Amino acid sequence: MSGITSESHIWTPEKGLQSGGYISEGVISRPRQVKAAQDHVYDVIIIGAGYAGLIAARDLVNAGRSVLVVEGRDRIGGRTYTIKHEGFNYEMGGTWVHHTQPYTYRELMRYDLHTKLIKTRDDTQANNYFSINVPGSKRDISNELSGEIIGKVWRLFVDIDGQEGRTVCPLPHAQLENPFVNRKDVEKWDSISCWDRFEAIKGQLNTEEQGVLKALLLSITGGKPDLKNSGFWDMIRSHAINGHSYDMMDPIWLLYKLRDGQSHFARLMFEEAVGLGLEYTFRTHVEAIKQVNEGLNLVRARDGRVFRGRKIICTAPLNTLNSIQFDPPLSRLRQEAANQGHINFMTKAHAVVKGSGYASWNGLAYPNELSAAYGDGLLPNGDTHLVSFGADYRDEFVLEEQPERLVAAFKKFAPFDVKSVVFHNWNTDPYTQGGPNFMPPNFTTKYMDALQKRQGNIFFANADWANAWRNFIDGALEQGALNAHHVIAELRKEDKEAQPSRPSL
Amino acid sequence: MSGITSESHIWTPEKGLQSGGYISEGVISRPRQVKAAQDHVYDVIIIGAGYAGLIAARDLVNAGRSVLVVEGRDRIGGRTYTIKHEGFNYEMGGTWVHHTQPYTYRELMRYDLHTKLIKTRDDTQANNYFSINVPGSKRDISNELSGEIIGKVWRLFVDIDGQEGRTVCPLPHAQLENPFVNRKDVEKWDSISCWDRFEAIKGQLNTEEQGVLKALLLSITGGKPDLKNSGFWDMIRSHAINGHSYDMMDPIWLLYKLRDGQSHFARLMFEEAVGLGLEYTFRTHVEAIKQVNEGLNLVRARDGRVFRGRKIICTAPLNTLNSIQFDPPLSRLRQEAANQGHINFMTKAHAVVKGSGYASWNGLAYPNELSAAYGDGLLPNGDTHLVSFGADYRDEFVLEEQPERLVAAFKKFAPFDVKSVVFHNWNTDPYTQGGPNFMPPNFTTKYMDALQKRQGNIFFANADWANAWRNFIDGALEQGALNAHHVIAELRKEDKEAQPSRPSL
């Protein structure tokens, strides 16, 4: 059950850039399954077939609802998909899972995938060390020592209250609304940037530590290299949801992957839904959503087709909300948030480097187009797969135009023999217009409530405004599941209320 | 929506022991709602209305299935319920929740309870210290120092591989079946007791540390005071699921409670199911379950009633499985496991002590009927609530017969003025016959697979054999949800296969 995707780029010295044509379980080869008559009113139309849309669709058809999924791409998975190339699963977007992530783990157990994991970290290969390349320090150290250095700078960075944020963000799932915090405290820490916080603590760091911290932060935020548009609150929130524990950071963020790839997981969910009657139309770009009356909403596609639904679940990411015309328009605050957008325009790239030794290697570099890189498994031919994250370098280059620049960026970490570079440019992708949400200053306190709110019969479900694992796969599943739950309950109530007025037979 | 429970005991010096008569949201005042005719075949009969039974029932009626819940008690919640007394919510069983628990947190968000939490830990009261009373050491120390001591002894206890168990139990949700472990390693560590492990490391501990470790372990296992029947593997597994991080232990095990009590949470789930047609009969003791043929199973109650179901979900805990007569009988391994039983016969007791100061206090004592005690909130009158856990002291006394002995046990920690003692004796409770599962040596590797298996059309769902948060509320929700999922899929398949043979109209 795979298809050929039009997405993903692979650059090799021999062939240059090859775009698309790769195998992915995410691709749905038969792009349309729309059985209902054109004027059929679906119970629910779901815009987007990422994890939020998939779980919502699955839960809704399980509840007996008629559902249509409308997706612009040729595949499911949204910001998460896997291509299989030369026997290796490349995770082009969202990758790692951890048992602290409630929606993800519930689903993994449901599909019996919780036993089918592989690990990124591998201590058994030759080059089991950590490379630092920052102003004033270029050296290779042990992974133990790098853990100590990163642990020190990270803890200092988030330690705003002598308790690593426990007093200010005790409940990461409920940052603004809980009995333990003073909203003013949250607003205060939400108002500053990562640059502000860096400036406040840099006196306690030596030159190397400063460079390490900057590289680390940029690999997380995907913001501008000066860190000024990266909000500080998302770091406090991230540390809180990692259990306020630095020990949990690597295991949660970078350790466990699905053996058969994220697209396999997504496909299981999709196939379950299709088996229960889900209808879908891929390669269908939604242009407009119009709420006609309480029981009818219209979704207009670019190809002129119009779909009718009682409820709409829109899973478009924050940075793309403006590309859909809403009538009535988005609420003022949601519109403002979409206009400003989040700031994560990260550079994510994979490399294949010659030999197996680097599977145990990690590194940080600053300044560099890629800030952090990790050995992440071996190809069948014994070469090493590396995965790497960097800041927002859109001002300087476009990945598709200068893929060689990624090769140079990889070589800043260590003397790799780079055999290929693999990437999806999420920043030029019209259906994402950036990576997963990392917020600028003031965003959480100003917009989070507004982003989660429904508008009439349109529900908004995206990882970008999840309660818990915001900008993780789990956040997408959370938003899809929660919104589906509300929609199921509401449809049931409406149907019940409508029943007495129907003539009895 | 509360009722008066026949359970719970409260002892005061003035009135002695008062049993039952307390307010609980868990009590279902109208104990029967059975609408179907006596020979109706339910899609599913669920034995037990604890969290496993409740979530299974809710998911099944949400999928449109006819469901009957049969429960021996007068209330929902099983090993978890709340009584409200003098304005305070006493959690008589399962208490704490944490966002690392996937099923729990998903449900809390679904019912909008994730913002309605309170904390056990409170640093603001007068007696903000930790009392140790073990052989060779009786002293009060800071909570910081106690954290260091307990952290040291715990880490040493679980550090079987220089990585705190990461190599032996990398995936706590899949201990036996995953690509990273050698089953022989698991069998080796599963074969020893906590006493064996203690003996192996005690040379690295001073006298006080030895006492602290013993008290801590007994408060976790609820086994015999010599630690010989407490399996060591459950400690490795527990540490793994806490992220292999001692920092996470207190926050996960002892920090966040539901403001309105566990019974409120359970009630929301129950009422949702009832609203969707769930039928139920409380105070109904199941004596026998008979599988007649592929489509019919009989559940016989002590009062002579017989209920018919296509599928059965039995949520009886491990130590009570033998009290139901199964025909055909339980599998050999399940029967063996039930005969041996788990070893947790803990002493759990609450105390109200005079004054607010002790709300910030904690302590460990060994040997003592109560091993660990924690300040846990204030009553409306300003007195302190303490909660405490101890080992298996059934050989020495029965709580209901000698409640004063609990007063003495509390006073071993600190000079409390004990105004009342509150408890539910789970060990004499016929529907639990012990606390939550803590396993003896060899149990995981020998029986875990067998306990999770279905037998014909009987599914077994209980926290005692959960994949993940075994013996936690989350484990009950996991087992209920997973089994309901399998049952829903199977019923759907059967109905589909049966359809063509029906005459079309």
Q: Do B99 and A99 touch (CB under 8 A)?
A: no
Q: How confident is the model at residue A69 (pLDDT cuts 50, 70, 90)?
A: very high
pLDDT exceeds 50 at position B185: yes
| SS3 (DSSP) at A350 | strand
Q: How confident is the model at residue A36 (pLDDT cuts 50, 70, 90)?
A: confident
Q: What is the CATH number of domain B28-80+262-341+433-492?
A: 3.50.50.60
What mean pLDDT do residues B247-269 have? 97
Q: What is the CATH number of domain A35-81+262-341+433-495?
A: 3.50.50.60
Is residue B356 within 8 Å of residue B377, measured between CB atoms? no
Per-residue pLDDT at B501? 56
Q: Do domains B28-80+262-341+433-492 and B121-254+347-390+393-426 have the same CATH topology?
A: no
pLDDT exceeds 50 at position B449: yes
R_g of chain A, CA atoms, integer Å: 23
pLDDT exceeds 80 at position B500: no
Fold (CATH) for B121-254+347-390+393-426: Polyamine Oxidase; Chain A, domain 2 (3.90.660)
Q: Which of residues 274-293 of A touch B (CB under 8 A)?
A: 276
Residue range B113-133, pLDDT digits in tens? 999 999 999 999 999 999 999
pLDDT exceeds 70 at position A501: no
CA-CA distance, B378 to B383, in Å (whole number)?
Answer: 6
Instruction: Spell out the residues 6+ positions from residue A489 whose beta carbon is closer than 8 angstroms to its own.
Output: none
Beta strand spans in A391-488 (E): 418-423, 458-460
CA-CA distance, A460 to A314, in Å (whole number)?
Answer: 5
Report chain B residues whose CB lies below 8 A from the CB of A492. Answer: 276
Q: Which of residues 38-67 of B touch A (CB under 8 A)?
A: 62-64
A107-116, A179-188, B261-270, B457-466: the lowest-pLDDT one: A179-188
Q: Do A482 and B110 touch (CB under 8 A)?
A: yes
Q: Hey, is the C-beta of A445 within 8 angstroms of any chain B C-beta?
A: no
Q: Hey, is the C-beta of A172 within 8 angstroms of any chain B C-beta?
A: yes
CA-CA distance, A252 to A262, in Å (whole number)?
Answer: 16
Strands B130-134 and B9-12, how do they pair? unpaired
CA-CA distance, A103 to A227, in Å (whole number)?
Answer: 31
CA-CA distance, A107 to A467, in Å (whole number)?
Answer: 18
Per-residue pLDDT at A505? 45
Q: Name the residue facing B243 among A62, A245, A492 (closest C-beta).
A: A245
Q: Do A241 and B179 touch (CB under 8 A)?
A: no
Report chain A residues whose CB lies below 8 A from the CB of B103. Answer: 102, 106
Q: From B118, which residue of chain A is nearest by alpha-carbon distance? A: A179
Q: How confident is the model at residue A416 (pLDDT cuts 50, 70, 90)?
A: very high
Distances (CA, A) of B217 to A360, B55, B130, B214: 37, 31, 17, 5
Q: How confident is the model at residue A500 (pLDDT cuts 50, 70, 90)?
A: low
Q: Which of residues 197-216 of B touch A (CB under 8 A)?
A: none
Buried b / exposed e over B34-65, threshold 16 CB at 10 Å, is beeeeeeebbbbbbbbbbbbbbbbbbbbbbeb
What mean pLDDT do residues B144-167 have? 97
Sheet strands side by side (includes A372-378): A16-19, A9-12, A418-423, A347-353, A384-390, A372-378, A362-365, A130-134, A137-141
What mean pLDDT do residues A175-180 have? 86
Interface confidence (ipTM) of the complex: 0.93
Q: From B108, which residue of chain A is nearest by alpha-carbon distance? A: A173
Report chain B residues whose CB lies below 8 A from the CB of A114. Answer: 171, 173-174, 467
Per-residue pLDDT at A178? 82
Per-residue pLDDT at A499? 79
Distance from CA of B248 to the nearest CA of A (A): 7
CA-CA distance, A336 to B116, in Å (whole number)?
Answer: 30
CA-CA distance, A241 to B414, in Å (whole number)?
Answer: 35
As a three-state string, the secondary structure of B258-327 is ECCCHHHHHHHHHHHHHHCCCEEECCCCEEEEEEEECCEEEEEECCCCEEEEEEEEECCCHHHHHHCEEE
CA angle centred on B18, ends B15 and B22, rounded to 5°: 125
Is residue A75 within 8 Å of residue A24, measured between CB atoms? yes
Mutation target vs B (from A55, A98, A104, A106; most B CBs, 10 A cutoff): A106
pLDDT exceeds 70 at position B274: yes
Provide the percentage of residues in chain B whose pLDDT is more than 70.
99
Q: Name the residue facing A115 among B100, B118, B178 (closest C-beta).
A: B178
- What does pLDDT average to over chain A? 96
Q: How confident is the model at residue B179 (pLDDT cuts 50, 70, 90)?
A: confident
pLDDT exceeds 60 at position A503: no
Q: How confident is the model at residue B505 (pLDDT cuts 50, 70, 90)?
A: very low
Distance of CA A333 to the CA centre of its chain: 23
Residue range A123-170, pLDDT digits in tens? 999 999 999 999 999 999 999 999 999 999 999 999 999 999 999 999
pLDDT exceeds 50 at position B355: yes
What mean pLDDT do residues A234-261 have? 96
Beta bridge partners of B5: B22
- What does pLDDT average to over chain B? 96
Is residue B49 within 8 Å of residue B78, measured between CB atoms? yes
What mean pLDDT do residues B3-13 have? 97
Q: Where are the domains of chain B?
A: 28-80+262-341+433-492, 121-254+347-390+393-426
Q: Hey, is the C-beta of B476 within 8 angstroms of any chain A C-beta?
A: no
What mean pLDDT do residues A94-111 have? 96
CA-CA distance, A126 to A166, in Å (whole number)?
Answer: 40
Is residue B245 within 8 Å of residue B172, measured between CB atoms? no
Q: Hey, is the C-beta of A158 within 8 angstroms of any chain B C-beta?
A: no
Report chain A residues whose CB lies below 8 A from the CB of B241. Answer: 99
